[in-house]
Structure 1
């Protein structure tokens, strides 16, 4: 089965301002479990915000069954893969393809 988009984040400078703006614009509701992350709770497409500063592109997380194997495959194909990170909801890795485009790989702890 082909890999699909599993999650995405928008990077903003201020999470509280983003919540006020996007909540007011789209009616989104939020759950904040970390100082640098805000999860949108009432959308069918899973998404959230990070406080990494403004960005013109979202960060795309592609769901994979085995993040270690997928990261190794990125390297084999000429891309680069950063350090693995873990959270209560799964394991991930930031990557760059062979042309410099940033993506993330995500192995959830449970099925979507």
Structure 2
């Protein structure tokens, strides 16, 4: 099951647009709330209060049956021009959405042929909190059909069988009920300079995946940046 869309919180959408335009060069804002970004390989938006991730399903009722069978809950269901969607929580209370795309050709093309971002400002990685490893493997394996690599330092487990944006589990992370989002950049040092110039903050560190920083924007919204190491 692939990532369809994601949303970064934006207490003030206009401030968020100015910040991410400066930091990532995002442009083309639109949509009903004015925060849709259409210049990234994985379409995304700015708005709301928390990180949101939407995963593609071609049969929403069947997916929701699996959510319940694996200990998750359904918070609400919605429908608009994009299609039918459902806000759920997994079997440990982590929030996620499922999106069944409408018949619109552009929307279905994106849903059926997701792209893995390779440009500055594209999504690099999404991480789902997983307080208990066994429960997370049962839910995400059973509902999403995901398979995982071996657990790495800090409890990271990457999804092996996606063709769109990369993702994984943050095993042992009980601090959040929402996914974290990390963005690919050409230069972590230069991007962090722009973050700070725009009123945000962060500090550089190195990991096997590359040179990274967990940042905050000028409204306190958390996000990560990664200058990928060779092979990533």
TM-score, normalised to structure 2, is 0.44
Q: What residue number does 1:69 align with?
A: 190
> What is the 5 A alignment of 1:1-112?
3-34=121-152, 36-44=155-163, 45-50=165-170, 51-53=172-174, 55-82=176-203, 84-110=204-230
Normalised by the length of structure 1, the TM-score is 0.87
RMSD after superposition: 1.8
Q: Distance in 1 between matches of 2:220 and 2:145?
A: 35
Q: Distance in 2 between matches of 1:16 and 1:79?
A: 36
Runs of 4+ more than 4 Å apart? none
Structure 2 residue runs of 5 or longer lacking an equivalent are 1-118
Pick the structure with more strand per residue. Answer: 1
Indicate the structure (1 or 2) with the bigger Cα radius of gyration: 2
- Structure whose residues are more often helix by fraction: 2
Q: Deviations over 1:77-104 (max 9, x none)?
A: 001113x222222121000000010000
